[in-house]
Amino acid sequence: MPLKTIGTIAIPEAAGSEFDHAAFDAKSRRVFIAHTARNCIEVIDHDAGRHIATLPGFPGVAGAVADDGQILATNRGGASVALLDAVTLETRATFKSGARPNGAVIVARSSLGIAACIGDDKEAPTLHVYGLSDHKQVSIELPGRPRWCVTDAAAERLFLCIREPSMVLVAPLPDLGAVTHWKIPSSGAHGLDIDHSRQRLYVACDDSTLVEISSTSGEVTNVWPIGGPPDVTFFNPATGLVHVAIGEPGLVDSIDPRNGHSTRTVTGAGAHTTALVVPNQLYVVSPAHGGVLVLSDS
């Protein structure tokens, strides 16, 4: 059965707009959504089911990630990364990045922020690790355009999708020392998430496939077809399902990697970004609906 729509949440100026990666912060019970076209971050009160704030000043914001009351946002139009307080909604710090920062991770317990930068005509793609408390920074050049990234459970290794050559780049944290490259048999590695308990990475690729690989060895363990070129990908540890958002024609494909069973939920054209609220809800940001579709994942 497809995921069940249980409600919608309106976002100001959302109709026909453009959004990117969003995240749920369990401490504040809020969802933070990168509103790329409006250079702002939208804030949803999950428990109340309503939009509560528009935070301006995030040029070309490409994504928001959350951990323990802290939000990290990548400002693709400003070559910077911003650290926010999820409760007060204040910006605590801003860090200079490479050109066009994109994928990001925040690890509150280690006071680490991570941003992968696409680069431009003057700068190569780069990966940056920030000390959120001491403001120290380490960076390396990347072999291609970065997409999304995650860490292992101990936050000792970073996994980063590279579009071309299609791979998962693996780097130790926090020093980014000995980097390894795990080739992906599908083109255009893009969306990414991890199942810590089974030690599996899920890589959604531009050639309309979802690839499962071991997070310890890089061995490919499964490949499944999906309904189009993907974007945001989430693994729900409560249900065991992998949800892949596909902006055109507007779908969420949900795959159970334990048996390969899949279902498809129609969303809306341009709805390529989501936020997972564990244990049982998936927010789909849909410009066609003027905000967020709230889906039940149970």
Given this model, what pLDDT does residue 1 score? 73
Residues whose CB falls within 8 Å of the CB of residue 174, separated by 6 or more in sequence, listed in order? 110, 112, 129, 131, 138
CATH code of the domain in which 116 resides: 2.130.10.10
Read off the pLDDT band of 287 (50, 70, 90): very high
User: Is the same domain home to 221 and 206?
Assistant: yes
HEC string for 170-207: EEECCCCCCCEEEECCCCCEEEEEEECCCCEEEEEECC
- Read off the pLDDT of residues 114-145 as tens digits, 9 standing for 90 and up: 999 999 999 999 999 999 999 999 999 999 99
User: Is the same domain home to 217 and 104?
Assistant: yes
Give the SS3 label for residue 73.
Answer: strand
* Measured distance CA(262)–CA(182) in Å, rounded: 26
User: Is the same domain home to 81 and 227?
Assistant: yes
What distances in angstroms separate CA 15 from CA 71, 73, 85, 263, 289, one per listed residue?
25, 22, 28, 27, 7
Q: Which two tokens stand for residue 297?
A: 């994942």
User: Is the same domain home to 156 and 290?
Assistant: no
User: Is the same domain home to 168 and 237?
Assistant: no
Residues whose CB falls within 8 Å of the CB of residue 235, separated by 6 or more in sequence, listed in order? 193, 194, 195, 202, 241, 242, 243
Read off the pLDDT band of 283 (50, 70, 90): very high
Q: Which of 197, 194, 27, 195 is nearest to 108 (CA)?
A: 27
Its domain, for residue 89, covers 14-232
Query: Which of 232, 264, 288 represents a domain boundary (last residue)?
Result: 232
Q: Which of 139, 186, 138 is nearest to 162 (CA)?
A: 186
- Read off the pLDDT of residues 206-242 as tens digits, 9 standing for 90 and up: 999 999 999 999 999 999 999 999 999 999 999 999 9
- Read off the pLDDT of residues 32-45 as tens digits, 9 standing for 90 and up: 999 999 999 999 99
Give DSSP secondary structure letters for 77-114: TTTEEEEEETTT--EEEEEE-SSSEEEEEEEGGGTEEE
- Read off the pLDDT of residues 59-74 as tens digits, 9 standing for 90 and up: 999 999 999 999 999 9
Given this model, what pLDDT does residue 298 score? 79
Query: Which of 232, 261, 287 represents a domain boundary (last residue)?
Result: 232
Query: Which of 232, 259, 288 represents a domain boundary (last residue)?
Result: 232
- For the whole model, what pTM was predicted? 0.97
